Amino acid sequence: MDTVKEIKKDFFINMGPQHPSTHGVLRIVLNVEGEKVLSSETVLGYAHRGVEKMAESKTYIQMMPVMDRFDYVSSMLFEWGYVGALEKALGVKVPERAEYIRVIMGELNRIASHLLWVGAFLLDLGAFTPFLWVFDARERIMDMFEEVTGQRMTNNYFRIGGVKDDLTPQFFKMLQDFLKMIRERMKDTEDLIESIIFLERVKDIGFISKQDVIDYGLTGPVARGSGFSYDLRKNEPYSVYDKIDFEIPVGEKGDCYDRYKVRMKEVIQSVRIVEQALNLLPDGPYTEKSPKVVKLPEGEYYNAVETSRGLLGVYIVSDGSTKPARFKLRDPAFSNLSILDKLLPGNKISDVVAILGSIDVVIPEIDR
């Protein structure tokens, strides 16, 4: 016992791929000293299916339902991005009624996605009740989707030149009921959530600066939480968003609380959009006649939409056949997740789940 061995104080914790709060099969290797995180490494690949390669062996129409399987909580917004790229390529004009239906469905999907996030985020922080409060509201959206599209989650509702089915009278009734209750429910939930413990947990945690937003290519509520006002619906309006009055909520400091607040405000803004779109909804056809066999002219096509997590870019290279020569997604959650390893060091283990939760990742979208 003449030499004293150097005592190693740090050790590794494997958070995931099977862990309650990594929201799927994400693996984070944490190097910790007691409760403090020294460094982290995010490991992907547990849900990799090679969908981008798969797309090259599928026709454009066969690819449509696959789009739902990326971000399964805001699937319609992903369909929108893909269908928009095809429409650009084919030069199809979408009827106005279809555009408004798309806006209504897209925004409802955004609300559903944000509600799920709020619930899951609070679950990560240890509060169970808000999860079920928002799920009651989300359930109504799911019922509306089922009424119109026949599916609750992977809807496969968008078509080239319009949507699959027209909105039903029952849908309008359900939507009115939903719009009546959602504001009050959001207020109640906010009152329940924002206790002093919650504020202690999320304030001044996981700062993202404006420069980080640009450096890491962050988009969506994560970017807007840092005061970076960028929303495709406002900055490069597509569809009929230029005819609708809404605001882009932004945060100030860029901590977890700001990201939470931005999402809560976005829900209310989406409700406003749905209300306006409902008033503006014109009569007319809900879909254009689309070709039976879709062949894109040779060239490169790109379309971007704002999903609930940020900017989704769909990039298609066509060689003139019925299948894409190259298919690539620029998805929001992948870029947003890239900043995680920068945010974690120096924080406590409990903050890891708060920061990861506030970034809002959906694994099948990241691991495609």
Partner 1 sequence: MEALSGSIFFNIILSIIGVMVVFTINALFAVWLERKVSAHIQLRLGPMEVGFHGAIQSAADGIKLIGKEIITPKGVDKKLFPLAPYLVFFPSLLMFVVIPFSDKLQVQDLNIGLLYFFSISCIATIGIFMAGWASNNKYSLMGAVRSIAQSIAYEIPIILSILGVIIIAQSLKLSDIVAKQNIWYIVIQPVAFIVYIIAAIAELNRTPFDIPEAESELVAGFHTEYSGMRFAIFFMAEYTNMFLVAAMATTLFLGGWRGPILPPVVWFFIKTYAIVFLIIWVRWAFPRLRPDQLMNFCWKFLLPLALLNLLITTFLLKLF
Pick from 97, 102, 140, 201 the residue near partner 1 by CB under 8 A. Answer: 201
Is residue 11 packed enough to be buried (19+ CB in 10 Å), middle (13-18) or exposed (0-12)? exposed
Q: Which of 60, 70, 82, 133 binds partner 1 (CB under 8 A)?
A: 133
Q: Does 197 bind partner 1 (CB under 8 A)?
A: yes
Stretch that binds partner 1, among 39-47, 79-87, 103-111, 122-130 (CB under 8 A): 122-130
Residues 147-186 contacting partner 1, CB under 8 A: none
- Tell me if 90 contacts partner 1 by CB under 8 A: no
Cis peptide before 249 (omega within 30 of 0): no
Single residue of 45, 132, 173, 229 touching partner 1 by CB under 8 A: 132
Tokens 């984070």 sit on residue: 28
- Map residue 92 onto helix, strand or coil: coil
Per-position x/- string for 233-272, each x denoting binding to partner 1 as judged by CB under 8 A, each - no binding: ----------------------------------------
What stretches of 125-229 show up as alpha helix (H) in DSSP?
Answer: 129-149, 169-193, 196-202, 210-216, 220-225
353 is a site residue for partner 1 (CB under 8 A): yes
**Toward partner 1, which CB reaches closer, 126 or 285?**
126
What is the Cα–Cα distance from 225 to 309, expressed in whole angstroms? 12
Q: Which of 10, 45, 57, 129 binds partner 1 (CB under 8 A)?
A: 129
Does residue 91 interact with partner 1 by CB under 8 A? no
Q: With CB under 8 A as the rule, give the number of residues binding partner 1.
A: 32
The CA distances from residue 192 to 153, 183, 199, 251, in Å, are 28, 14, 12, 21
Cα separation, 258 vs 256, in Å, equals 5
Q: How far is CA 127 from CA 69, 316, 353, in A?
A: 29, 43, 13
What tokens were used for 331?
């998805």
Contact call for residue 136 and partner 1 (CB under 8 A): yes
Tell me the C-alpha distance between 11 and 14, whole Å.
10
Considering only the stretches 15-23, 71-79, 95-103, 333-341, report the one whose residues sit in contact with partner 1 under the rule CB under 8 A. Answer: 15-23
Nearer to partner 1, 165 or 190 (CB): 190
Interface residues with partner 1 (CB under 8 A) are 11, 13, 19-21, 34-35, 122-129, 131-133, 136, 192-193, 195, 197-198, 200-201, 348-353
